[in-house]
Amino acid sequence: SPDCSFTCHYRCRALVRLDCSGPPGTGDENDGIEQALEKDTNVDEPSEWEKTELDQAQVEQRIKEYNSQINSNLFMSLNKDGSYTGFIKVQLKLVRPVSVPATKRVPSLQAGRSGPRTQGVKRRTSFYLPKGTVKHLHIFSHTRASEVIDALLRKFTVIDNPRKFALFERSEKDEQVYLRKLADEEQPLRLRLLAGPSEKVLSFVLKENETGEVNWDAFTLPELHNFLRILQREEEEHVRQLRHRYARCRQKMQEAL
């Protein structure tokens, strides 16, 4: 696609339903800025509100303060049982392609014959989600991070294993970006309430879950071939960026001379 960066098989293009509006090229620039900001941060540093405990009265007061600070109708609501509901916004920053289901009809080998000679064949197709994709979710205070990941995958009909993804807490401070991976049982709406509505103070990002060693024997041959192609593409892009960086350094040196 010329307007965003998703990639799919040419015969599967008609099956993809995505909003591809927006000027081309902006995602790469933002990614470069983000990487520069993140390179010296500690991703495991706990947030200041991670262990904060609130009683019922404090929760009610926090909800009132939160609702008074937002400029939209995405309010939080306190329920009779003491729980509360509200909205969180999650940005999807995936560098790997995701898999979605695709169903094709296989026609009869002998045309003209009557009868149910066609059947649905389950297939999957992979493509890159557009950079900067965001999704608002309406959740409960007791909704866990793992459940948020499941809900996001259902929204985009992604059929990959949810364990391949992780929800991150992102904050900006002193011109640096801090990322922390949320544990499965953490409650994103509670963090949203404690941090307030500011996206700089706290935002949520869905990324790949880098868990260490990969059991490559668990993948099929087509998947392994796909991984090799993806690695080749990433390597070529990395080489391009390195060459561009060295070319700029060379140019600056020549200008100084």
- What ranges do the domains of the chain cover? 36-97+122-214
118 pLDDT higher than 50? no
Helix ranges (DSSP H) in the chain: 26-38, 56-69, 145-155, 188-195, 221-256
Domain 36-97+122-214 - what CATH class?
A: alpha beta
pLDDT band for 235, please (50, 70, 90 cuts). Answer: very high
Q: Is 213 exposed, middle or buried (0-12, 13-18, 19+ CB in 10 A)?
A: exposed
39 vs 201, higher pLDDT:
201
198 pLDDT higher than 60? yes
Distance, in Å, from the CA atom of 223 to the CA atom of 164, rounded to the nearest integer, reads 14
Distance, in Å, from the CA atom of 189 to the CA atom of 81, rounded to the nearest integer, reads 16
Per-residue pLDDT, 126? 77
Helix then strand then coil, in percent of the chain rounded to 5, is 35, 25, 40
140 pLDDT higher than 90? yes
pLDDT band for 46, please (50, 70, 90 cuts). Answer: low
Quick check: helix, strand or coil at residue 180? strand
Q: Which two tokens stand for residue 21?
A: 């509006």
| C-alpha torsion 47→181→150→226, nearest 10 | 160
Q: Whole-model pTM above 0.85?
A: no
pLDDT band for 223, please (50, 70, 90 cuts). Answer: confident
Per-residue pLDDT tens for 148-183? 999 999 998 898 889 889 999 999 888 888 889 999
Distance, in Å, from the CA atom of 95 to the CA atom of 210, rounded to the nearest integer, reads 12
Residue 85, amino acid:
T
